[in-house]
Structure 1
Amino acid sequence: MTKLSVNINKIATLRNSRGGDVPNVVQFAKDVQRFGAEGVTVHPRPDERHIRYRDVSDLKPVVYTEFNIEGNPIPKFIDMVLEAKPTQVTLVPDAVDAITSNAGWDTLKHKDFLSEVIAEFKSNGIRTSIFLDPDLGQVEGAKATGTDRIELYTEAFAHQYGLGNTQAIEPYTKCAELANNIGLGVNAGHDLSLDNIKFFKDNIPGLLEVSIGHALISESLYMGIENVIQMYLHKLK
């Protein structure tokens, strides 16, 4: 079965737009788990424009499902993850000024750096995942770093699927097959939605987890968060 991890960055964005603490990200994390989410994802960035580093420490005691922290492993991020000790850390090569994640790692070019960071996280009992474009060479490169999993960057699939091009799934399927064969777990995320999640899941062998934020929160404005989570769970199982 594929687990649903809810990315709550957008809740922090809404909170920060007015100051104060409404909506409360800790309460929201409690609620999405109560509604059936099997994980909570956060992606703090250096400017803390949505999730703040303080939020991570506040969330740690209340996330009783899987806690997934995403981000670029700069020193401040590494220190935060080692202190929080989440279930999983997902390494994403964000530029400091990136609006959202827009590319996967070059695991060949950055092999030594990634290997060092991953070894440190794994020695502290934290599962590791590398954010990747759907490229077979990058999957093989990820294996060489010692990572536990990869997270397939799905923006290209989502865009093409929305245009009616179902063949856009093929590189993702091939990468998942390779990952399964060489002992890497497969996660996925970015622009997955109620419209495309079932097709994606049905064509990705061994898909362990999806992390969904922007679409899920946007859909919930119309249909309600509890209802939308149940809809995702139905499509994933």
Structure 2
Amino acid sequence: MVSEPGAALSVNVNKIAVLRNSRGEGEPDVLRAARTCLSAGAQGITVHPRPDRRHITAEDVVALSALTNQFQVEFNVEGNPFAPPRAGYPGLLPLCEQVRPAQVTLVPDADGQLTSDHGFDFTADTSALAELIAGFKALGCRVSLFVDAGCVGLARAAQMGADRIELYTGPYAAQWAAGAPEQALAACQATITEATALGLAVNAGHDLSQDNLGPFLSALPAVREVSIGHALIGEALYEGLEITIQRYLAIIAQSVRAAA
């Protein structure tokens, strides 16, 4: 992925797959939607294949890997590395072994969880997680760990060999909607400062939207990448996917100017 000023925009296309799977047919086409996002200027594609195949499937991951290779942009595969394989889902590590994504984002979500809503607990036994991180890095993947802003024990992420963290931004989005995001932003900044000192780069994602992304990035210019799906796809229903991508890129560019 070409390095540009500001945070890179990686579009999560899970929701396209949700719509497709609701009919059990091929429309809307996840690959076509991802291609539209990349043609409009998005710097990457994110997916979170789940063992129950309720949206993105292993087959989608293979197809999207080929597409992102064609566009020479980043492919970010999210998932719970501890979820066991089952019919139609080989497990996160074997799937990444097949497609070798640029980045894998490890998330501690349970099988039946509606969406990712918390980060790793670094005060617990992390020996098994450390072994998995080593496995992903052996594939050539950059490894990012999903974390809560203000989490305890972040040094353990660096000790285990992680390259980045992804800040869970759900609390920020909720506080921003309530008109008082200062506490969440302060927690994010404290975690970014600690991560940077540990040699970890910082991504962010969850509930970010056109409304709250600009203030977030202007306050936290060290964020390297934002992964946005739910809000972006919802906004695109009204205004179109290409225009929506371009508006997000304009917000990111404006945040760079504001930070400068």
| TM-score, length basis structure 2 | 0.88
Q: Which residues in structure 2 correspond to 1:208-227 (within 5 Å)?
A: 208-227=224-243
> Displacement of 1:136 after TM fit?
4.5
* Aligned counterparts of 2:92 and 2:125: Cα–Cα separation in 1: 18
1:135 to 140, 147, 150: 150
Counterpart in 2 of 1:9? 14
**Structure 1 residue ranges without an equivalent (≥5):** none
Indicate conservation of the 8 Å contact 2:93/2:135, yes or no: no
* Aligned counterparts of 2:125 and 2:239: Cα–Cα separation in 1: 42
* Aligned counterparts of 1:198 and 1:23: Cα–Cα separation in 2: 29
* Structure 1 counterpart SS, 2:17: helix
> Displacement of 1:228 after TM fit?
1.0
* Aligned counterparts of 1:43 and 1:138: Cα–Cα separation in 2: 26
Indicate conservation of the 8 Å contact 1:148/1:185, yes or no: yes
> Displacement of 1:187 after TM fit?
0.2
CA gap 1:138/1:227 in 2 versus in 1, 3 angstroms: farther
Which letter does structure 2 place at the counterpart of 1:36? G
> Displacement of 1:22 after TM fit?
0.6
Counterpart in 2 of 1:109? 124
RMSD after superposition: 1.1
Percent identity, please: 47
1:21 to 11, 26, 31: 26
Q: Which residues in structure 2 correspond to 1:37-48 (within 5 Å)?
A: 37-48=42-53
Which letter does structure 2 place at the counterpart of 1:148? D
| TM-score, length basis structure 1 | 0.97
> Displacement of 1:82 after TM fit?
1.3
* Structure 2 counterpart SS, 1:207: coil
2:65 to 41, 52, 60: 60
1:159 to 157, 160, 174: 174
Where does structure 1 differ by over 6 angstroms across 4 or more consecutive aligned residues?
A: none
Counterpart in 1 of 2:256? none
**Structure 2 residue ranges without an equivalent (≥5):** 1-5, 85-90, 254-260
Q: Aligned pair 1:86/2:101, yes or no? A: yes
Indicate conservation of the 8 Å contact 1:154/1:189, yes or no: yes
Q: How many residues align?
A: 237
* Aligned counterparts of 1:26 and 1:232: Cα–Cα separation in 2: 20
